[in-house]
Amino acid sequence: MSERVVVCLSGGVDSSVAAALLVDAGHEVIGVFMRSGVSGEATGEKQGCCSVEDAMDARRVADLLGIPFYALDFADGFDRLVDRFVEDYARGRTPNPCVLCNRWLKFGRVLRFAREVGARRVASGHYARVVRSGERWTVARGRDASKDQSYVLSVLEQEQLAALLLPLGELRKAEVRAEAARRGLARVAEKRDSQEICFVPGDYRDLLRRRLPASADALRPGEVRDLAGVRLGEHAGTAGFTVGQRKGLGIAAPRPLYVQRTDPGRRLVVVGPREALARGGLEAVDATWLAACPADGEELPGRVQLRAHGRSHPATVARTPTGFRVRFAAPTEGAVPGQVAAVYDPRDEHLLCSGWIERVLVE
């Protein structure tokens, strides 16, 4: 059935082909570009998703497809993302702004805009699929496993999923690039995928120094210690370190050392061997219940993914009053406070729930 659809055009190949496929399907398509107000030209090897160059590419695609195009000023929304990003680092967490952008802006603010212009649906170029699981909507993995993006959509609410169209869910990346070239979208057909956080075109620590007061604990020098509490050296601020980091520690040691945790309040960075990064579980808050909605304390088998492009790990998940608790089948690396834990069904096909990692469990 033909309907009015708002498509998020990023200026890349994926959203461009998604829009083209919707036009082919007979929909009345409206293209929108989200202006961040905090990024400039994309240059060199770094490629974001909200630069001036991207906006121009998005407009060219809309013109070629013959669809209306709007550049929406989301500067205040992006400023909220930046505030959360800085706050997380100040608290010793590792933020994930791209996931929040999907919830707050791409399928939050854009969905509200769609309603204002009489559109019921919002579409994007993500490699994932929206499916029904009983009475609920959930997200299934894209057919191209190497490009699957279901993880970054794991925090979407039921209202957002009900309105979401993902035209590329059944396609592979190579097919999408070939389709773009066939349609004469040569400029975007070979364009690099976005890799950088759009509001951090350089070193994220420069952003933190601009946004945080000089007296912030996370920017003050402190000690680097090992797991036994032995002082190994000094650092210039905990904000410059993330869990799992190996390079840039400034410590000479007989074996590689990795950041185990940071404690801004004590101005402390704790390091240890890689095997010490493996955790027995985690506790997550601000849960989003997708296919699953268990009672408090009820345990579910599943697989937990801790990174956008990481593999999933077998685990059991139990609902708690503030979110859920995960127990891995075997000690697992990658559980980092501030990141999202996305829980899939035991067959690793669709999402059951997701939540923000609050703390990790050693055992």
Domains and CATH numbers, the chain: 4-125+167-189 (3.40.50.620), 214-276 (2.30.30.280), 278-361 (2.40.30.10)
pLDDT of 261 strictly over 80: yes
pLDDT in tens, 271-328: 999 999 999 999 999 999 999 788 888 899 999 999 999 999 999 999 999 999 999 9
- Sequence-distant contacts of 313-322: CB under 8 A, at least 24 apart: 314/346, 315/281, 315/343, 317/343, 317/352, 317/353, 318/294, 319/287, 319/294, 319/295, 320/283, 320/296, 321/296, 322/283, 322/285, 322/358
> What percent of the chain is predicted at pLDDT more than 90?
84
Using CA atoms, how far apart are residues 344 and 350, in angstroms rounded to an integer?
5
The distance between the two most distant Cα atoms of the chain, rounded to a whole number of Å, is 67
pLDDT of 331 reads: 97
> What does the block give as tokens for 293?
């909605």
- Quick: pLDDT tens for 81-102: 999 999 999 999 999 999 999 9
Beta-bridge mates of residue 104: none
Residue 40 has pLDDT above 50, yes or no: no
* Residue 186, beta-bridge partner list: none
What pLDDT does residue 9 have?
A: 97
Cα atoms found within 13 Å of the Cα of residue 101, Cβ hemisphere only: 21
State the Cα–Cα distance between residues 223 and 259, nearest whole angstrom: 13
| Residue 44 confidence (pLDDT) | 40
Res. 355: pLDDT tops 80? yes
Helices vs. strands in the chain: H and E counts, helices first: 9, 17
Known catalytic residues are 101, 198
Q: What is the pLDDT of residues 296-307, one digit of tens each?
A: 888 999 999 999
Q: How confident is the model at residue 50 (pLDDT cuts 50, 70, 90)?
A: low
Cβ-based neighbours of 153, under 8 Å, separated by 6 or more: 102, 126, 128, 139, 164
Query: Residue 348 is encoded by which pair of tokens?
Result: 């690793």
Pairing of strands 28-35, 69-73: parallel
- Say whether pLDDT at 192 is over 80: yes
Q: What pTM, to 2 d.p., does this model score? A: 0.93
- How far apart are alpha carbons 154 and 134 in whole angstroms? 18
Residue 45 falls in which region: left (phi positive, over 0), alpha (psi -120 to 50) or beta: alpha
DSSP class of residue 295 equals P
Q: Write the CA distances from 91 to 98, 154, 358, integer angstroms.
A: 19, 24, 11
